[in-house]
Amino acid sequence: MSDAKKFMYINRKAPYGTIYAWESLEVVLIGAAFEQDVSLAFVDDGVYQLMKNQDTTEVGIKNFSPTYSALGDYDINKIYVEKESLEARGLTLDDLQHLVWEDEDDDWAEKDSIRVVTSAELAEIFEQQDVVLSF
Amino acid sequence: MSTLHTVNKSSYERDSLEACVRLAAKGGSVLLIEDGVYSAMSGGDKASVIENAKADLNFYVLGPDMKARGISEDRLIDGVKVVDYKGFVELTVENDKVSAWL
């Protein structure tokens, strides 16, 4: 694990309208398989990717939103959502899926994966990364 | 003459809806599809685009695209009507032409 790098995936697109959201998820899962230190950020229209109650049956597109709830099982538990992006869209944390992970160092306690952060906080987090990938 | 305008981009990412509203003649209809449906949600910074234009234009949103994105009807701006695919076809037939804002 000593050569694990800090990978940040920045998601800025709404789901379904373009392929970016789905492609990002694919790459994130591949990165996790290589045991890297993975973080995800959802900013701008990317926050829509995490909306609850997505139902694509009538549009004939695969609903990939349940995949986000599996990220905890891949040790991906740093999911940053920009506060300013939520507010601009009239959304709150309640509009998003409740994503959790189990902490093996704390008797497998279930903990929240989503952290709502300000733009300034997110800028700091981006600075700490080794690799940044943008979708 | 009447026109059905379709908008398929989020107004938080592009200015397609603003261009459409600015250039659409009074009495026309605007149907929000694909990522355009986000613009029909109340409470956001861009809700004013529809709020300010709804007296002059009829606004519709495509239900299946709304549901795909997890938007419930109670989140819509007052006055925006939900249509299904059949309603989309009817709007196309009722109007003389369709103008797509990308």
For residue B68, which residues of chain A lie inside 8 Å, CB to CB? 16, 54-56, 58-59, 61, 63
Token couple for A72: 């905890």
Q: Of chain B residues 28-57, which have a CB less than 8 A from chain A?
A: 34-35, 38, 41-47
CATH of A6-134, one of 3.20.20.70, 3.40.50.720, 3.40.1260.10, 3.30.1440.10: 3.40.1260.10
Model pTM score: 0.95
| Three-point CA angle B79, B39, A113, nearest 5° | 125
**Mean pLDDT value of segment B39-53:** 98
Q: What is the C-alpha to C-alpha distance for residues B42 and A120, in angstroms, rounded to an integer?
A: 27
* Closest Cα in chain A to B64: A58
Q: Cβ contact (<8 Å) for A55 and B35? A: no
Q: Which domains are seen in chain B, by residue range?
A: 3-94 (3.40.1260.10)
Residue A2's pLDDT is 62
Tokens 């709007």 correspond to what residue?
B91
Q: ipTM of this complex > 0.85?
A: yes
Q: Does A4 touch chain B (CB under 8 A)?
A: no
Q: How confident is the model at residue B52 (pLDDT cuts 50, 70, 90)?
A: very high
Q: Give the one of B12, B13, B69 whose C-beta lies nearest to A16's C-beta.
A: B69
Q: What is the C-alpha to C-alpha distance for residues A99 and A112, in angstroms, rounded to an integer?
A: 6
Contact B84, B66 (CB under 8 A): no
Q: Which of A132, A119, A123 is nearest to A47 (CA)?
A: A119
In whole angstroms, what separates CA A22 from the centre of its chain?
12
Residue A82's pLDDT is 98
Residue A23's pLDDT is 97
Token couple for A25: 């998820």
Q: Which residues of chain A have a pLDDT value below 50?
A: none
Q: Which of B72, B18, B86, B94 is nearest to B50 (CA)?
A: B18
Token couple for B75: 């989140």
Residue A31's pLDDT is 83
Residue A122's pLDDT is 98
Domain layout of chain A by residue ranges: 6-134
Q: Which of B11, B12, B33, B62 to mutate to test the interface with A (most CBs of A within 10 A)?
A: B12
Q: Cβ contact (<8 Å) for A14 and B10? A: yes
Residue B67's pLDDT is 98
In whole angstroms, what separates CA B85 from the centre of its chain?
14
